[in-house]
Amino acid sequence: MSSLPANLLPDNATIAPDGRLKIAGVDAIELADRFGTPLFVYDEDHVRARCREAREAFPDGVAYASKAFLCKSMARLAHEEGMLLDVASGGEMYVARQAGVPADRLVLHGNNKSLVELRYAMREGIHRVVVDSFDELDRIAGLARDEGLPAPKILLRITPGVEAHTHEFVQTGQDDSKFGFGVRVGHAKAAIERARALEAEGALRLVGLHAHVGSQVFEVGSFEKVIEVLTPIFAPLGLEELCIGGGLGVAYVEGETSGSIREWGAAIRRACEAQGLRARITAEPGRSIVAAAALTLYRIGTIKEIPGVRTYVSVNGGMSDNPRPVLYGSGYETFLARSADAERTRTIRLVGKHCESGDLLVREGKVPADIAVGDVISTPVTGAYGYSLGSNYNKVPRPAVVFVRDGQVREVVRRETWDDLLRLDL
Please state, for a pLDDT cut of 90, what percent of the chain lies above it.
82
pLDDT recorded at residue 170: 36
Domains of the chain with CATH codes = 6-43+291-422 (2.40.37.10), 109-284 (3.20.20.10)
pLDDT band at 183 (very low <50, low <70, confident <90, very high): confident
Does residue 229 contact residue 238 with C-beta atoms inside 8 Å? no
Does residue 373 contact residue 302 with C-beta atoms inside 8 Å? yes
Looking at residue 162, its amino acid is V
pLDDT recorded at residue 171: 40
355 in active site: yes
DSSP annotation of 279 reads S
For 20-38, write each residue's pLDDT tens digit. Answer: 999 999 999 999 999 999 9
Start-to-end CA span in the chain (Å): 53
pLDDT recorded at residue 1: 53
Instruction: Measure the CA–CA gap between 407 and 264, rounded to whole angstroms.
Output: 32
Cβ-count burial 317-338 (b if 16+ within 10 Å, e if not)? bbbbbbbbbbebebbbbbbbbb
pLDDT band at 230 (very low <50, low <70, confident <90, very high): confident
